[in-house]
Structure 1
Amino acid sequence: MQRLYRNCYEMDRKCYEAYGLSEDLLMEHAAEGMARLIRERFEAGARVFIVAGPGNNGADGIALARLLQGRFEVGIFLPMGARSAMAKLQLERARRVGVRECEEMEEAECLVDAIFGAGLSRPLSEEIAALVETMNAMEGFKLACDIPTGLDEGGRPLPTAFRADATVTMGALKEALYLDAAKEYVGEIRCVDLGIDRLLYEEESRSYLLEADDFDPPLRSDRLAAHKGSFGHAALFCGEKEGAGIIAATAAARFGAGLTTLVVHEKVWAPPFLMRATTVPPKATAIAIGMGLGEYFEEELLQKEVVDSSLPIVLDADAFSKPELLQVLHQEHRKIVITPHPAEFVRLWRILSKEELSVEAVQADRFDLARRFSALFPHVVLLLKGANPIIAHLGELFVNPLGSPVLAKGGSGDVLSGLIVALLAQGYEALDAAIQGSLALALAARKWEGADYGMLSTDLIKMLVHLD
């Protein structure tokens, strides 16, 4: 798990004031971090072409050109010249070692974007937007310096952005790199130190990036005298679209719940390892509701079995259209996990706050909206689905960047609900259940070896047995 930050300005200032490091020294380390990646990927003599902006992001790129000169065939293009003091200084140094300055774009095996870095606050000019599109259309490996040109401080394209195969970011990881909208632009993300170890550079943060190593699967080997009741009893409401409930319950059973029951009020077909009941079983240890729910259950039953219950709960899908079920969110001493996708969050937010949002607005401000929700309901664990799901609890954010397009298919969210309720049933805290369920879903998708378009939710459930 790594820390995430909105920006690094204060940490850079600490380097100058507390550690006596110069801007020049930090820039040298930034450039060396990019040079290291290029040396790893390319043989000596490869063509590297760097497009540098007029400010300090451009200065990083110019310093990179100097570091690569001699080993590689380097060209540099400065469409707006060098304006900042550091850009001018780095350009003078590059000229002294013989870096070739170009008057137009050239093809290369490696194309480096060092036009604008973090902090962009206005749309790109027509000229620079056209230049970025030209760069995107070129062949070769594409590397972005700090953040792809065209992404603003929140990670939104303005209106277009450089599509990098890799981004070398400086000092610490930035939230902007992990907004859903940024995922198509950043590629592989590498963070490089700026003259001191990250432990000294970084400050406290309430945002974190999840990693594969954070996954900790449910274990049974330390409970040799256990029986099925030792691992909880998950009850999942199976509604109008019964397939959603069955998928979720199957995932719960696969992920360690000792017993799994579908709550129904008429007979449905289900795998033989799933039990069926018309009410929540008295020994249930967690419940999940919303997946394909529709208008299947009467309000009186929902009040009795869900709202008046104290069992840990997962709310998903259709639950976010039902004000009666959302009463649960006010129960401060209950373990609660909610898993809306952006459109469901719009409906949820409208009921809770009376504020109208669009899906586009949610996607543009995912981090801030997750924080706002957590401020209103700090005890509730929000898992806002997306390309990079955000988990919010008690004002802290956890971002899962491990998902893939394999998951962009109906049923994936039902699997997620099943994973989380299975962990709640086994006694996990709500935050841990959400984090581990989210990681399990993403890692299971990565185990799929078939075509991206070909995976079914049932295949995803089968992949769970290969996680370790």
Structure 2
Amino acid sequence: MQKLFDEVGSLDKRCYEEFALSEDILMEHATNGMASYIRDNFSKFSSVIVVCGSGNNGADGIALARQLHGDFDVSIYYAKEAKSMMARLQEKRAKAIGVKECFEIQHCAVLVDAIVGTGFSGEFSDELKELITKLNDSLAFKISCDIPSYGFKADVTLTMGALKKSLYLDASKDAVGEIRVIDLGISRSIYEAQTNWNLLDEKDLELPTRDKKDSHKGSFGHLAIACGSKSGASILSASSALRFGVGLVTLVGYENEQIPYSIMHASELPSNTTALALGMGLGNEFSDKELDIFLDNSFSLIADADIFYMPIIDKILKRENVILTPHAKEFVALLKHTKLANISIEELQKNRFKFVELFTKNYPRITLILKGANSIIAQNNIFYINPHGTSALAKGGSGDVLSGLVGALLAQGYSALDSAINASLAHTLLAQNYKGADFSLTPEDLINGICDL
């Protein structure tokens, strides 16, 4: 697990004030880390073009070119005239040792984007947009300095000091490439401060365990899933849950002759139920009274899909140990229903962190999994991003499998937050482990892969 930050300016300031490190020293370490990456991955005298802006991101690029000069065929393309104090200083140093300047984007082995960094908040001119298009059209290996400039698509982003949340917006997924952190002369453990945002690593996954030998099927929980006429979704969730360690699964409600033999059916909640799942393929089969009866208990609950458009969501939001797993459209509907925000899906996607924080501030007892390219898991003021999702999961039924994974852990007694984190990680790992073409992954493939986690 790694820390995530809104900005690192305050972390840099602490280096100046507490550790007697100057801006110049931090920049030298940053660019040395970038230079080391290039030296490790490309042969000596390879051609490198560094495209630089006017501010400190451009200064990083100019300093990088100076450090590579002599060992690489490096040149600087000035997208903007150097203006910041550090950019002018680095330009002076680069010129002093003879780093050359180029005036068009030529063929090269490595192309470095150092146009704008995290401090940029304006609009790109048409001229800069045209330049970005040319850079993207290049066949060179593309590196972004700290964060990709607007529209630039990097093969790798070498980010300075610590990980930034903006690198993990859904919209950033196609732009950042591989992300690596460059140290700034001190360990990240010292540079980084406290934060409520974290990035999940695959090694954070903790699978269900069956350490107790003297046990039976009831020892591992009983998940009850509300089953409407669209029972395929409920069956996928039930099958997923059964594979993920829960001892018993019962579909409650609409009866379907296609239910697998390993899954039970009942017209009301079994007496030994330990967790509930509600929403997957629910449709309109349940009356408000039947839903009230289903929820007339204190069991842990996973709620998904249809439930976000139904009045019963108000009752769910008042419960303890609840996990909600909306995708973007469902979350927008939830925000509108709770009168927290009336926004479009596009606005949500640009401000996912903001609206997740808004929701959990108002509903601190709810655990949220906002699904997406980089799913966000949140509870109260603690937040996690799972960056391991793939486009293979963009398939009907994938979310139902996730709900089953979550429900299985809840039924086995895991806390809501631990259930959300581990189910989300398992879900993305299942997709990554799939050996077929990404477009061919089905929910059944995910379920069958659980045994190989």
Q: Structure 1 length as normaliser, TM-score?
A: 0.95
Which of 155, 161, 167 is the equivalent residue of 1:165? 155
The answer to whether residue 294 in structure 2 is matched with residue 297 in structure 1 is no
The separation in 2 between residues aligned to 1:289 and 1:36, in whole angstroms, is: 52
Indicate conservation of the 8 Å contact 1:319/1:326, yes or no.
no
In structure 1, the partner of 2:111 is: 111
In structure 2, the partner of 1:338 is: 324
In structure 1, the partner of 2:307 is: 319
The separation in 2 between residues aligned to 1:292 and 1:2, in whole angstroms, is: 36
In structure 2, the partner of 1:60 is: 60
Which of 349, 365, 368 is the equivalent residue of 1:382? 368
In structure 2, the partner of 1:192 is: 182
The separation in 1 between residues aligned to 2:229 and 2:364, in whole angstroms, is: 32
Gaps of 5+ in 2: none
In structure 1, the partner of 2:73 is: 73
- Matches of residues 179-258 of structure 1 in structure 2 within 5 Å? 179-220=169-210, 222-258=211-247
The answer to whether residue 441 in structure 2 is matched with residue 441 in structure 1 is no
Question: Aligned to 2:435, what secondary structure does the other structure show?
Answer: coil
Q: Closer, same or farther in 2 for the Cα pair 1:104/1:265, shift >3 Å?
A: closer
Q: Percent identity?
A: 48
In structure 2, the partner of 1:309 is: 297
Deviation at 1:265, TM superposition (A): 3.0
- Matches of residues 143-162 of structure 1 in structure 2 within 5 Å? 143-150=143-150, 161-162=151-152
Indicate conservation of the 8 Å contact 1:32/1:67, yes or no.
yes
Indicate conservation of the 8 Å contact 2:323/2:420, yes or no.
yes
Which of 361, 379, 398 is the equivalent residue of 1:412? 398
Deviation at 1:337, TM superposition (A): 0.1
In structure 2, the partner of 1:155 is: none
Which of 353, 359, 363 is the equivalent residue of 2:349? 363
Indicate conservation of the 8 Å contact 2:229/2:254, yes or no.
no
Question: Aligned to 2:317, what secondary structure does the other structure show?
Answer: helix
The separation in 2 between residues aligned to 1:358 and 1:173, in whole angstroms, is: 28
- Matches of residues 274-293 of structure 1 in structure 2 within 5 Å? 274-293=263-282
The separation in 2 between residues aligned to 1:406 and 1:181, in whole angstroms, is: 17
Deviation at 1:325, TM superposition (A): 3.5
**Aligned positions, number:** 453
The separation in 2 between residues aligned to 1:252 and 1:182, in whole angstroms, is: 32
Indicate conservation of the 8 Å contact 2:231/2:256, yes or no.
no
The separation in 2 between residues aligned to 1:412 and 1:174, in whole angstroms, is: 28
The amino acid of 1:318's aligned partner reads: D
The amino acid of 2:187's aligned partner reads: D
The answer to whether residue 121 in structure 2 is matched with residue 126 in structure 1 is no
Question: Aligned to 2:338, what secondary structure does the other structure show?
Answer: helix
The separation in 2 between residues aligned to 1:204 and 1:29, in whole angstroms, is: 23
The separation in 2 between residues aligned to 1:230 and 1:78, in whole angstroms, is: 66
The separation in 2 between residues aligned to 1:353 and 1:82, in whole angstroms, is: 47
- Higher mean alpha-carbon deviation, 104-113 vs 353-362, is at 353-362
Deviation at 1:95, TM superposition (A): 2.2
The separation in 1 between residues aligned to 2:65 and 2:450, in whole angstroms, is: 46
In structure 2, the partner of 1:30 is: 30
- Matches of residues 32-47 of structure 1 in structure 2 within 5 Å? 32-47=32-47
Deviation at 1:70, TM superposition (A): 1.9
Indicate conservation of the 8 Å contact 2:340/2:359, yes or no.
no
Deviation at 1:264, TM superposition (A): 2.3
In structure 1, the partner of 2:387 is: 401
In structure 2, the partner of 1:156 is: none
The separation in 2 between residues aligned to 1:354 and 1:443, in whole angstroms, is: 33
Deviation at 1:354, TM superposition (A): 6.4
The separation in 2 between residues aligned to 1:458 and 1:206, in whole angstroms, is: 36
Deviation at 1:41, TM superposition (A): 1.7
The separation in 2 between residues aligned to 1:141 and 1:118, in whole angstroms, is: 22
The separation in 2 between residues aligned to 1:392 and 1:76, in whole angstroms, is: 43
Deviation at 1:119, TM superposition (A): 2.1
Question: Aligned to 1:326, what secondary structure does the other structure show?
Answer: helix
Q: Deviations over 1:133-174 (max 9, x none)?
A: 111111111100000111xxxxxxxxxx11011101111111
The separation in 2 between residues aligned to 1:139 and 1:109, in whole angstroms, is: 8
In structure 2, the partner of 1:460 is: 446
Q: Deviations over 1:419-464 (max 9, x none)?
A: 0000000000000000000000000100011111111010011111
The amino acid of 1:409's aligned partner reads: K
In structure 2, the partner of 1:158 is: none
Deviation at 1:355, TM superposition (A): 3.7
Indicate conservation of the 8 Å contact 1:342/1:385, yes or no.
yes
Question: Aligned to 1:168, what secondary structure does the other structure show?
Answer: strand
The separation in 1 between residues aligned to 2:312 and 2:224, in whole angstroms, is: 19
- Higher mean alpha-carbon deviation, 370-379 vs 296-305, is at 296-305
Deviation at 1:263, TM superposition (A): 1.2
Query: Aligned-pair RMSD on alpha carbons?
Result: 1.1
Deviation at 1:262, TM superposition (A): 1.1
Q: Structure 2 length as normaliser, TM-score?
A: 0.98
The separation in 1 between residues aligned to 2:155 and 2:437, in whole angstroms, is: 21
Q: Which runs of 4+ in 1 moved over 4 A?
A: none
The separation in 2 between residues aligned to 1:268 and 1:361, in whole angstroms, is: 43
Gaps of 5+ in 1: 151-160
- Higher mean alpha-carbon deviation, 458-467 vs 261-270, is at 261-270
Question: Aligned to 2:179, what secondary structure does the other structure show?
Answer: strand
The separation in 1 between residues aligned to 2:162 and 2:119, in whole angstroms, is: 14
The separation in 1 between residues aligned to 2:171 and 2:256, in whole angstroms, is: 43
Q: Deviations over 1:368-414 (max 9, x none)?
A: 10000000100100110100000110111100000111101111100
The answer to whether residue 169 in structure 2 is matched with residue 176 in structure 1 is no
- Higher mean alpha-carbon deviation, 77-86 vs 114-123, is at 77-86
